[in-house]
Amino acid sequence: MKTEKEKMMSEEPFATNDSELMNDKKNARILAEKYNHSSEDDLVLRKTILQQLFGKCGEKILIKPPFHCDYGYQIFVGENFFANFDCVFLDAAPIIIGDNCMIGPKTCIYAISHPLDAQERQKNIGLPGKVTIGNNVWIGGGVTILPDITLGDNIVVGAGSVVTKSFPPNVVIAGNPARIIKKVVV
Protein backbone atom coordinates (compact mmCIF):
# COMPACT_ATOMS: atom_id res chain seq x y z
CA MET A 1 0.00 0.00 0.00
CA LYS A 2 1.34 3.45 -0.92
CA THR A 3 2.02 6.16 1.61
CA GLU A 4 0.22 9.47 1.16
CA LYS A 5 3.50 11.00 -0.03
CA GLU A 6 3.92 8.22 -2.61
CA LYS A 7 0.37 8.88 -3.79
CA MET A 8 1.08 12.60 -4.05
CA MET A 9 4.33 12.00 -5.92
CA SER A 10 2.44 9.69 -8.33
CA GLU A 11 -0.16 12.44 -8.89
CA GLU A 12 -2.91 10.39 -7.26
CA PRO A 13 -5.46 11.72 -4.74
CA PHE A 14 -3.84 11.94 -1.30
CA ALA A 15 -4.55 13.02 2.27
CA THR A 16 -3.18 16.54 2.64
CA ASN A 17 -3.11 16.26 6.44
CA ASP A 18 -0.77 13.24 6.48
CA SER A 19 1.89 13.62 9.20
CA GLU A 20 4.85 12.97 6.86
CA LEU A 21 3.58 15.57 4.39
CA MET A 22 2.83 18.06 7.16
CA ASN A 23 6.43 17.67 8.33
CA ASP A 24 7.67 18.20 4.75
CA LYS A 25 5.58 21.40 4.55
CA LYS A 26 7.02 22.57 7.87
CA ASN A 27 10.58 22.04 6.60
CA ALA A 28 9.77 23.94 3.39
CA ARG A 29 8.34 26.84 5.37
CA ILE A 30 11.47 26.98 7.55
CA LEU A 31 13.68 27.20 4.45
CA ALA A 32 11.37 29.74 2.78
CA GLU A 33 11.41 31.85 5.93
CA LYS A 34 15.23 31.76 5.97
CA TYR A 35 15.22 32.81 2.33
CA ASN A 36 12.66 35.56 2.89
CA HIS A 37 14.67 37.03 5.76
CA SER A 38 18.09 36.73 4.11
CA SER A 39 20.04 39.77 3.00
CA GLU A 40 19.56 40.92 -0.57
CA ASP A 41 23.35 41.16 -0.78
CA ASP A 42 23.96 37.55 0.27
CA LEU A 43 23.33 35.88 -3.09
CA VAL A 44 25.40 32.81 -2.15
CA LEU A 45 23.22 32.11 0.91
CA ARG A 46 20.03 32.67 -1.08
CA LYS A 47 21.15 30.27 -3.82
CA THR A 48 22.17 27.67 -1.23
CA ILE A 49 18.74 27.87 0.42
CA LEU A 50 16.97 27.49 -2.94
CA GLN A 51 19.16 24.48 -3.79
CA GLN A 52 18.09 22.90 -0.48
CA LEU A 53 14.43 23.81 -1.00
CA PHE A 54 13.87 23.02 -4.69
CA GLY A 55 14.11 19.70 -6.50
CA LYS A 56 16.42 21.47 -8.97
CA CYS A 57 17.43 25.00 -9.80
CA GLY A 58 19.82 26.54 -12.28
CA GLU A 59 22.95 28.45 -11.42
CA LYS A 60 21.46 31.85 -12.25
CA ILE A 61 18.30 32.27 -10.18
CA LEU A 62 16.75 35.27 -8.43
CA ILE A 63 13.51 35.26 -6.47
CA LYS A 64 12.44 38.46 -4.72
CA PRO A 65 11.09 37.72 -1.24
CA PRO A 66 8.63 36.91 0.03
CA PHE A 67 8.31 33.55 -1.69
CA HIS A 68 6.08 30.71 -0.48
CA CYS A 69 5.66 27.06 -1.44
CA ASP A 70 4.20 23.87 0.00
CA TYR A 71 7.01 21.31 -0.31
CA GLY A 72 9.72 22.83 -2.50
CA TYR A 73 11.15 19.51 -3.61
CA GLN A 74 8.59 19.32 -6.44
CA ILE A 75 9.81 22.62 -7.97
CA PHE A 76 12.28 22.31 -10.85
CA VAL A 77 13.64 25.56 -12.29
CA GLY A 78 15.99 25.99 -15.26
CA GLU A 79 18.75 28.51 -15.90
CA ASN A 80 18.33 32.28 -15.81
CA PHE A 81 15.14 32.36 -13.73
CA PHE A 82 13.57 35.44 -12.14
CA ALA A 83 10.47 35.66 -9.96
CA ASN A 84 9.34 38.98 -8.52
CA PHE A 85 7.86 39.70 -5.07
CA ASP A 86 5.17 37.62 -3.36
CA CYS A 87 4.93 34.51 -5.55
CA VAL A 88 3.25 31.32 -4.29
CA PHE A 89 3.98 27.88 -5.77
CA LEU A 90 1.81 25.06 -4.40
CA ASP A 91 3.83 22.05 -5.50
CA ALA A 92 1.84 18.93 -4.62
CA ALA A 93 2.70 17.86 -8.17
CA PRO A 94 5.82 18.91 -10.07
CA ILE A 95 6.14 22.52 -11.15
CA ILE A 96 8.67 22.45 -13.97
CA ILE A 97 9.95 25.77 -15.31
CA GLY A 98 12.33 25.98 -18.27
CA ASP A 99 15.26 28.27 -18.99
CA ASN A 100 15.11 32.06 -19.34
CA CYS A 101 11.77 32.53 -17.58
CA MET A 102 10.48 35.61 -15.78
CA ILE A 103 7.53 35.67 -13.40
CA GLY A 104 5.84 38.87 -12.25
CA PRO A 105 4.87 39.73 -8.67
CA LYS A 106 1.96 38.05 -6.89
CA THR A 107 1.87 35.16 -9.33
CA CYS A 108 0.43 31.89 -8.04
CA ILE A 109 1.12 28.47 -9.54
CA TYR A 110 -1.20 25.80 -8.19
CA ALA A 111 -0.21 22.19 -8.87
CA ILE A 112 -3.05 21.00 -6.66
CA SER A 113 -6.82 21.18 -6.51
CA HIS A 114 -9.47 19.56 -4.35
CA PRO A 115 -12.62 17.50 -5.01
CA LEU A 116 -15.75 19.31 -6.17
CA ASP A 117 -17.87 17.13 -3.90
CA ALA A 118 -18.09 18.78 -0.46
CA GLN A 119 -18.03 15.50 1.49
CA GLU A 120 -14.86 14.39 -0.32
CA ARG A 121 -13.30 17.81 0.23
CA GLN A 122 -13.96 17.54 3.99
CA LYS A 123 -11.69 14.47 4.02
CA ASN A 124 -8.71 16.75 3.21
CA ILE A 125 -8.11 15.15 -0.18
CA GLY A 126 -5.64 16.80 -2.53
CA LEU A 127 -5.67 16.27 -6.30
CA PRO A 128 -2.17 16.94 -7.66
CA GLY A 129 -1.71 18.12 -11.25
CA LYS A 130 1.67 18.91 -12.83
CA VAL A 131 2.39 22.38 -14.21
CA THR A 132 5.00 22.65 -16.98
CA ILE A 133 6.28 26.00 -18.24
CA GLY A 134 8.54 26.01 -21.29
CA ASN A 135 11.65 28.05 -22.07
CA ASN A 136 11.64 31.82 -22.60
CA VAL A 137 8.27 32.34 -20.93
CA TRP A 138 7.29 35.69 -19.44
CA ILE A 139 4.43 35.60 -16.93
CA GLY A 140 3.04 39.00 -15.94
CA GLY A 141 2.14 40.06 -12.44
CA GLY A 142 -0.88 38.71 -10.62
CA VAL A 143 -1.25 35.64 -12.82
CA THR A 144 -2.86 32.45 -11.53
CA ILE A 145 -1.93 29.13 -13.17
CA LEU A 146 -4.14 26.16 -12.32
CA PRO A 147 -3.14 22.46 -12.14
CA ASP A 148 -2.59 20.20 -15.16
CA ILE A 149 -1.31 23.04 -17.35
CA THR A 150 1.47 23.09 -19.94
CA LEU A 151 2.67 26.38 -21.39
CA GLY A 152 4.88 26.04 -24.46
CA ASP A 153 8.11 27.89 -25.21
CA ASN A 154 8.12 31.66 -25.83
CA ILE A 155 4.69 32.32 -24.31
CA VAL A 156 3.83 35.69 -22.81
CA VAL A 157 1.06 35.66 -20.19
CA GLY A 158 -0.65 39.02 -19.64
CA ALA A 159 -0.85 40.45 -16.13
CA GLY A 160 -3.85 39.36 -14.09
CA SER A 161 -4.61 36.35 -16.28
CA VAL A 162 -6.08 33.09 -15.00
CA VAL A 163 -4.64 30.16 -16.94
CA THR A 164 -7.18 27.32 -16.92
CA LYS A 165 -5.89 25.28 -19.88
CA SER A 166 -2.67 24.49 -21.76
CA PHE A 167 -1.33 26.60 -24.64
CA PRO A 168 1.04 25.90 -27.55
CA PRO A 169 4.37 27.71 -28.00
CA ASN A 170 4.82 31.19 -29.45
CA VAL A 171 1.63 32.92 -28.32
CA VAL A 172 0.54 35.81 -26.13
CA ILE A 173 -2.29 34.82 -23.79
CA ALA A 174 -4.37 37.00 -21.48
CA GLY A 175 -7.69 37.23 -19.70
CA ASN A 176 -9.88 35.28 -17.32
CA PRO A 177 -9.90 32.61 -18.50
CA ALA A 178 -6.74 33.18 -20.52
CA ARG A 179 -7.08 32.93 -24.29
CA ILE A 180 -4.73 33.47 -27.22
CA ILE A 181 -4.42 37.17 -28.07
CA LYS A 182 -1.82 36.84 -30.82
CA LYS A 183 1.09 34.79 -32.07
CA VAL A 184 4.70 35.62 -31.23
CA VAL A 185 7.16 35.79 -34.10
CA VAL A 186 10.32 33.88 -33.12
Active site residues: 114
Rounded CA gap, 160 and 141, in Å? 6
3-state secondary structure of 156: strand
180, amino acid identity = I
The string of DSSP codes covering 79-102 is SSEEE-SSEEEE-SS-EEE-SS-E
Find out whether 163 and 155 touch, Cβ atoms under 8 Å. no
119 backbone dihedrals φ, ψ, rounded to 5°: -65, -40
